[in-house]
Amino acid sequence: MNRKVGILVAILTIALSLGYFTVSKASNIIDKPMRVLKGHEQSIGAVAFSNDGLKLFTGSKDKTIGVWDISSGQLTNTLTDHTGEVTAIAVSPDNELLASGSDDGTVRLWSTESNKLMNTLSHMPKTKDRGEVMSLDFSVKGNFLASAGAGIVVIWNPHNGKEIKRLNGSMARFLPDGKHIVVVSKSQFISFYDTDTWSIKQTIEDTNVIKDIKVSSDGSGAIIVFLKKKANGKAGLYGGIEMINLSSYKIVHEYSDKNLMLSVTGEFSPDGNFFALCTVRGVFLIEFAAGGVPTYVLTETPNALISDMSWSMAFNNNSDLLAVGYDSGKVSIWGVPKPDKNQKAAKQIVSGNVLPAFNTELKGNNVVRIRNPNDFKVSVGLRSASSGKDFVVAEHGIASSFVPDGPYEIFFVYSNKPEALFKGDDFTLKGNGIEIQIIKVVGGNYGIKQVK
């Protein structure tokens, strides 16, 4: 049995026994793709649009790469040189090269115009068995190509096929500044390298199991896709995202809830409006204008766990199409909704105008983390003098905000009682953080009282 399918069957069995079916009520459901492409015999491991948006490239477990015409939906060519599952695909910035990675341990470079094989690169040393290439990424100028997998990151010159550097890591992404690359190692450590000296500039240790990392097109942030770590150190079923500010190298946003079961991979839309996240419940579109929470879910089986899991996806450069590859071998092309330019801030999602007003937004390095074990969303309002910050915590979710030193009032609005305002105990931050759990029964060591 396919390893991925085996995992999915086990998860479906557990989920059925627990009765988990419902997609978050906060999400608008899109249940019909614009087009479905069928041509592969086995699961899709990688997809990528050409930079001009005219073609789609798909890599499959059937060892082939499909070349599709977007306007007609027709399969125009099949590339067959790999001897193993195709697990990664990337297109060069100048749109001239297609890089493909496989569990045969090679990276192959193709002409996007002629579909001819231009070069074959050996990701694994000749002294070692073949290893799966899990990710490929071109630098912004196209002068570097990073292949990652089997604990190794190899930096290549894609034009002559020469190896430049080897690093330790399981996935790698170049930053848009062209001067840095972020590398994940041991599913826990995130290191930022200078591409001139290949020295480490900064390292972050994460407490979760990292499944993917992607960098925004403007270079302001990176998002980690994670699964929560169990007591035995292995990945659990539930996950979410964390956003890293690439100026401070600090985690500035965290979102997780029970709907994000088996979070495996994600992708930024080039326009920066959405982050798409593959889960066992469908593909969630996390909208930044809505406070970094899911506002849409793409699934043909609403309110049910999907049986055809998605493991790869890609936006086109216009950010209006999302291609998603599935276990069955099909690829669905979804239309991406346009964000509401007049959408209210995150505090308005569940709270209306109940939270106290503020003049300036709080920004700092102290974390305020809220845990919500309840079956309703909670809007949180932090207030310090005339400044404030609002964010939303999903049902059975966790969310964080980062604020400066100072005295704080904290307010809550529950989505099941939107006209009421609750207030917690005041607290002061001075170089420290705080974690608050909204308990189901009023009482305990953190008081929450209704004040309106």
Q: Are residues 405 and 302 in the same domain?
A: no
Task: Establish if 342 belongs to a structural domain.
Answer: no
What distance in Å separates the CA atoms of residue 223 and residue 275, rounded to the nearest whole number? 9
Which of 279, 311, 335 is the C-terminal boundary of a domain?
A: 335
- Write the CATH number for 69: 2.130.10.10
Among positive and negative, which fits the CA dihedral 321, 324, 330, 334?
A: negative
- Domain residues for the domain of 238 are 3-335
The DSSP bridge pattern shows strands 360-361 and 387-393 to be parallel
Are 313 and 376 in the same domain?
no
Please tell me whether residues 352 and 331 are part of one structural domain. no
340 domain-assigned: no
Q: Residue 236 is inside which H or E element, if any?
A: strand 235-245
Length reported for the chain: 452
Helix H, strand E, coil C: the string for 316-340 is CCCCCEEEEEECCCCEEEEECCCCC
Residue 38 lies inside a defined structural domain of this protein: yes
Tens of pLDDT, residue by residue over 167-224, are: 999 999 999 998 999 999 988 899 999 999 999 999 999 888 899 999 988 888 899 9
Residue with the bigger pLDDT between 320 and 376: it is 320
pLDDT for 107 equals: 96
pLDDT of residue 343: 42
Q: Please give the pLDDT value at position 407.
A: 95
Asked whether residue 343 is assigned to any structural domain, the reply reads: no
Q: What is the CATH number of the domain that holds 359?
A: 2.60.40.10
Nearest to 403 by CA among 366, 376, 378, 372: 366
Given CA atoms 45, 53, 262, 220 in this order, what sign does their dihedral have? positive
Residue 111 is predicted with a pLDDT of 97
> Are 238 and 269 within one domain?
yes
Do 95 and 236 lie in a common domain? yes
Per-residue CA distances from 338 to 118, 124, 153, 289, 335 (Å): 39, 43, 36, 12, 9
Q: Which of 170-184, 209-223, 271-285, 419-433 ranks highest by mean pLDDT?
A: 170-184
The 10s digit of each residue's pLDDT in 2-34 is 434 333 333 333 333 333 333 444 458 888 999
Of the three residues 313, 335, 357, the one that is the final residue of a domain is 335
Report the domain count for the chain. Answer: 2
Predicted confidence (pLDDT) at residue 50 exceeds the cutoff of 50: yes
% pLDDT > 90, the chain: 46
Q: How far apart are CA 388 and CA 408, in angstroms?
A: 9
- Residue 373 and residue 329 share a domain: no
pLDDT for 128? 55
Co-location of 297 and 353 in the same domain: no
Which of residues 450 and 445 earns the better pLDDT score? 450
Average pLDDT of the chain is: 83
* pLDDT tens digits along 146-159: 999 989 999 999 99
Q: How far apart are CA 450 and CA 452, in angstroms?
A: 6
Residue 306 sits in the same domain as residue 204: yes
Beta carbons of 325 and 313 less than 8 angstroms apart: yes
94 lies in a domain?
yes
User: Which of 50-59, 225-234, 363-372, 391-400 has the least mean pLDDT?
Assistant: 391-400
Do 411 and 272 share a structural domain?
A: no
Distance from C-alpha of 43 to C-alpha of 307, rounded to nearest angstrom: 13
pTM: 0.73
pLDDT classification of 447: cutoffs 50, 70, 90: low
For the ranges 257-261, 367-371, 378-382, 386-390, the lowest mean pLDDT is seen at 257-261
